């Protein structure tokens, strides 16, 4: 079948979005098409030509969504400055936003040009592909379309459009926008989101309190999963936090190599606000802002809002329980508790700065890596302690990836395309990341961390 749109967001108040038109492109070219995702959406790939995927042939009038957000702690009114939702595709009872990213200016573009570079769209494609196969809830990339425009960022590159798929693009910042700019619409909008994402709450007596709790728990699950694989989102502004717990907006993101809770690679994060180890407290801070945006729903009962705030007070307990459960699985520990050995292991990681991904493989199968850190007495001691209560191989294999999209590998693949218009390295890395939990001797080079010098100098950028 072809795309089948039923765009319910247009039934909401028109202050929440703008009708838009993608910019004209003379010769759009499909660089990548995610055939597995086509199948999952019930789409016939033969029906998805470059004219449809670049927004040149429209099935209905696209929209750009308005939203707000705290960006590095500062509140700003925003909106889709270079993104347009073509429509909501419905398949097998599920609803998906089909969005174009890099398709031209919108009323929310400000001084931006509405475009995107081909390297940034290829980057998002491979990160979202990896996250999906790592078992993490994420936006998906249906296609990358190269345009005939040149886009100037840090260097001049071909332009590109990413076709992004999500359950919706509603975020904490959408609620902040509605609460501050269209407050009379807040109840109707919240009911719409509940009906779309959490319909089981519709008949609850305290559905708005329960809604907050569900969003909080789905967000905790997301961030704990990030920490399981060493992912650093890099720009956890409230406008980048999905109401459905989907990871999205792969801008200055990275995967951590050497364990460092202060690890941050974004060029704009000078103070480490969104460092690897700070993702938990930032999530709680963001949830506090989300709670504030819902406060008007409780005007008739301050006690009811107190109950919502009590849900937020449970954040630490819920997060820590999920985090320690995740770490026990990574260490192959079947029993509950055992926080002390997990903490001791984390202390060793902090001290040794060992490669995060490879350490769990080495614990599971000693001798996997020729790295002096794994010959130290301290590592042998911690492994001996773990062997008495954990290191269950079956459990560890399900939880610990063999491969991640390491930063230097990403850069190699992108540079090859920019310099030679060759996607062979990119596709080789995609092939490895298709099954990141399966070891293959032929892929051992993809397990090698970069030099510490590379890591210390590596920088990612938002304005891609």
Which residues carry out catalysis?
Answer: 239
Q: State both tokens at 212.
A: 């907050």
Residue 190: which of 72, 43, 13 has the closest Cα?
Answer: 13
In 37-186, the DSSP E strands lie at: 63-65, 68-71, 74-77, 83-91, 94-101, 140-152, 156-166
Task: Give the distance, in angstroms, between the CA of residue 390 and the centroid of all CA atoms in the same chain.
Answer: 30
* Helices then strands, each counted (H, E), the chain: 16, 11
Q: Which residues of 155-187 are buried (b: 16+ CB within 10 A; e: fewer)?
A: eebbbbbbbbbbbbbbbbbbbbbbbeebeebbe
Helices (H), 5-156: 35-40, 50-53, 118-133
**Closest to 86 (Cα-Cα) out of 107, 103, 61, 67:** 61
Give SS3 for 308: helix
Rg of the chain over Cα atoms, rounded to whole angstroms, equals 22
Per the CB < 8 A criterion, the answer to whether 234 and 252 are in contact is yes
Of the candidates 209, 158, 412, 159, which has an alpha carbon nearest to the alpha carbon of residue 313? Answer: 209
Return the percent helix, strand and coil in the chain, to nearest 5. Answer: 50, 15, 35
What is the bridge-based pairing of β-strands 63-65 and 94-101? unpaired
Q: Which residues pair with 97 in a beta bridge?
A: 88, 166
The residues pairing with 151 across neighbouring beta strands, listed in sequence order, are: 157
Closest by alpha carbon to 65, among 155, 166, 152, 156?
166
Kindly provide the b/e burial profile for residues 281-296, where b requires at least 16 CB atoms within 10 angstroms of the residue's own CB.
ebbbbbbebbbebbee
Residue 356 and residue 227: Cα distance in Å, rounded?
Answer: 10
Q: How far apart are CA 380 and CA 172, in angstroms?
A: 45
C-beta separation of 449 from 258 below 8 A: yes
């Amino acid at each position: 079948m072809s795309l089948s749109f039923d765009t319910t967001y247009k039934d909401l108040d028109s202050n929440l979005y703008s009708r838009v038109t993608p910019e004209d492109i003379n010769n759009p070219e499909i660089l990548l098409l995610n055939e597995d995702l086509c199948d999952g959406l019930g789409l016939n790939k033969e029906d998805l030509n470059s004219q449809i995927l670049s927004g040149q042939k429209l099935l209905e009038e696209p929209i750009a969504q308005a939203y707000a957000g705290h960006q590095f702690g500062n509140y700003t009114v925003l909106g889709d400055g270079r993104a347009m939702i073509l429509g909501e595709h419905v398949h097998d009872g599920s609803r998906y936003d089909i969005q174009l990213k890099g398709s031209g200016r919108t009323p929310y573009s400000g001084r931006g040009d509405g475009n995107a570079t081909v390297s940034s769209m290829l980057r998002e494609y491979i990160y979202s592909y990896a996250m999906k196969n790592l078992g993490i809830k994420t936006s998906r990339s249906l296609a990358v379309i190269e345009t005939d425009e040149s886009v100037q960022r840090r260097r001049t590159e071909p332009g590109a459009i990413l076709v992004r798929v999500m359950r919706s693009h509603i975020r904490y910042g959408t609620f902040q926008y509605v609460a501050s700019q269209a407050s009379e619409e807040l109840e109707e909008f919240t009911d719409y989101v509940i009906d779309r994402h959490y319909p089981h709450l519709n008949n609850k007596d305290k559905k708005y309190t329960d809604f907050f709790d569900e969003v909080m728990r789905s967000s905790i699950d997301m961030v704990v999963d990030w920490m399981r694989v060493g992912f650093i989102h890099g720009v956890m502004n409230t406008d980048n936090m999905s109401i459905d717990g989907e990871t999205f907006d792969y801008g200055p993101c990275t995967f951590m190599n050497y364990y460092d809770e202060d690890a941050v690679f974004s060029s704009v994060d000078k103070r480490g606000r969104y460092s690897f180890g700070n993702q938990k407290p930032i999530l709680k801070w963001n949830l506090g802002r989300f709670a504030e945006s819902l406060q008007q729903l409780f005007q008739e009962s301050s006690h009811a809002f107190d109950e919502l705030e009590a849900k937020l007070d449970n954040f630490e307990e819920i997060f820590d329980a999920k985090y320690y459960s995740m770490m026990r699985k990574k260490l192959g520990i079947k029993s509950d508790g055992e926080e002390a050995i997990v903490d001791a292991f984390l202390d060793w990681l902090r001290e040794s700065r060992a490669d995060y991904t490879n350490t769990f493989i080495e614990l599971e199968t000693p001798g996997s890596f020729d790295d002096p850190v794994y010959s130290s007495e301290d590592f042998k001691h911690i492994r001996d302690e773990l062997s008495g209560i954990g290191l269950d191989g079956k459990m560890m294999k399900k939880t610990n990836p063999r491969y991640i999209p390491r930063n230097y590998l990403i850069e190699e693949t992108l540079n090859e395309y920019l310099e030679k218009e060759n996607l062979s390295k990119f596709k080789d890395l995609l092939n490895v990341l298709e099954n990141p939990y399966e070891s293959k001797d032929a892929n051992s080079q993809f397990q090698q961390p970069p030099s510490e010098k590379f890591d210390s100098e590596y920088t990612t950028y938002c304005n891609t």
